[in-house]
Amino acid sequence: MRKGRISLLLVMLLLSLLAGSSFAENTESASGSLIPDRSPETLRTLLEEADFYVQDGILYEFDTLKLASEGKLLTCFGNNAGSVYLILNLPPAPEQDAAEGNQDRGWEGEKPSAYDAPEIENAPANPYFSPAGMHFKLRQDEAVVLVTRLPDPCKYWSFIAYDMFTAQQEGKDYSNQKGFFGIGNEESGLYHTIFGSIGAPVDMLNARHDGDSAFGTTAVIVLCANVTVRNQIMDSLEQAGYPESMVNVVEIPSDVYRMGLERGKDTFSLFGRISQPEDRDAYNEYIAGLAETATVFRVTPKSEIPSVAFKVQPLTPRGTGIHEAAQVGSCTENLDAIRSSILAEYSEEYDYEELTTEIGIIDGLTAYTNDVNANGDVHDAAYLISPEFELKSDEDFVVVYGVNHAVTRKAHYFNAVLHARPMLNGVCTVFDSMMSGSADRYLGEDMQGSDEFYVYKMAREEMDEHTAIIPYSTGNEQGKYYGVDNENTVFVLFRIYLDETGVGASYYELVNDRVIVFHKK
């Protein structure tokens, strides 16, 4: 571990022990001055007095499988099955048209701006994407303010901004680009998906918040691209009872991204992630109340404020300098033993494909500058992907195996998710918390019980205690994209979250996970 860094597990233990406490209202700020009672309405009034228009948005659960199954979403964005997403919905900027929906598909149009002066010609609408308002253009002097209660204790949570869609370059052929997804029309311009992260996420390790825990307390997130605007909003937040100690600023470097409301300018989103809550009832209550308890403001200056751009901030480098192969016993020998044992058990009755994983998702700014899809990356994770394959029959199954990244501390948590094309719907997941003892039967007695390795199956029916069930699409009561049928193209994506440095592991320090697909002879 690097000198001066506290073990991730120790940090999480301390956070858990401290969970539940919070600052009282009318307490003292760091400067010794009295902090007033917190009030979203006071914040609104202060921002309006500072010559800003303030419009309400909403924070809510973004269930991609549900929306896609209802025909309201055109992709599931490679959802992390077993985890949940939150998303902001914003109205258009003042003097920007609202995008029209499609009632035949149940797509509602955008809610018009509350400050649209009829005598002023509007900027074009955002290229339409359902659900309306999930992505939005921003003037370089606009900001988004989110005040929200943070999730209760869970394995992981974060909020992160994305460049969501960017204009297609004139004369460029995107048809053969991996992950290409286009929206828009002649009026709005033609766009394609970037879904690339902007900077570092606000997560349970680095968040500013009230109270002594990153769980169950309150935080403010400000998304903006102008230093002057940031400072003005910080002043209003302080006066409204939200001190700097609980404010997280997500900076958009306007010299890099295409800010503005004009045709062809970028659109942005703010997503939240929550994985593996400790108390499912408390989690359900939290999700159900978000729309009422969270405050979301779109803040727009009444007169344009000159640009003062943020610089691109450095990210915490990936890696500790120690390869995972050095952290487990006889790495190659034991992986060979696992492979041989699996094949010996099933190769007589099954044909098989052995699939090698590779880097699956690149960092957001790299994707943006390369004009390609980042597929919703986050710097907190490393992603490994398998080649595509098909399940030919109900007796076919998948085996995932490898080094347990949680034991080597290359991951605070990791999982393997089976995804289906073309909707990129994640339908079946295996978390590291399910893997204890899963490799014992495939290893020698000296390695049993160590949990340094894992072996897990994905199958239509339970084959043993270490099996995750693959649901069908046809007849699925939850919705057709909660499952996948045979002869659909599928792949496995491994997500490896938070090594000892507090970010995603280095791809060059991992022992890549392995996949074997068995087809009944």
DSSP code per residue over 297-332? EEEEESSPPPP-PPPPPPPPPS--S--GGGSSTTHH
Residue 494 to residues 93, 138, 389, Cα–Cα distance (Å): 38, 33, 16
Which pLDDT value is given to residue 326? 96
Which one has a higher pLDDT value, 119 or 200? Answer: 200
How far is the C-alpha of 58 from the C-alpha of 148, rounded, in Å?
Answer: 11
Which pLDDT value is given to residue 35? 52
pLDDT(33) > 70: no
Closest CA to 402 of 492, 275, 501: 492
DSSP code per residue over 342-382? HHHHHTTTEEEEEEE-EE----HHHHHHHTS---S--TTEE
pLDDT(24) > 50: no
Which pLDDT value is given to residue 317? 97
Which range, of 4-8, 71-75, 160-164, 167-171, averages the lowest pLDDT?
4-8
How far is the C-alpha of 382 from the C-alpha of 508, rounded, in Å?
Answer: 10
| pTM for the full predicted model | 0.92
Question: What residue ranges do the domains of the chain occupy?
Answer: 40-91+133-165+198-301, 324-520
Q: Tell me the pLDDT tens digit for each residue of 359-411.
A: 999 999 999 999 999 999 999 999 999 999 999 999 999 999 999 999 999 99
Which residue's structure tokens are 């076919």?
Answer: 396
Q: Tell me the pLDDT tens digit for each residue of 114-161.
A: 998 888 899 999 999 999 999 999 999 999 999 999 999 999 999 999
pLDDT(341) > 50: yes
pLDDT(460) > 80: yes
How far is the C-alpha of 138 from the C-alpha of 261, rounded, in Å?
Answer: 6
Which one has a higher pLDDT value, 19 or 52? Answer: 52
How far is the C-alpha of 466 from the C-alpha of 110, rounded, in Å?
Answer: 46
How far is the C-alpha of 54 from the C-alpha of 143, rounded, in Å?
Answer: 10
**pLDDT category of residue 43 using cuts at 50, 70 and 90:** very high
8 Å CB contact between 131 and 63: no
User: CB-based contacts of 286: which residues, under 8 Å, 6+ apart?
Assistant: 149, 151, 152
pLDDT(13) > 80: no
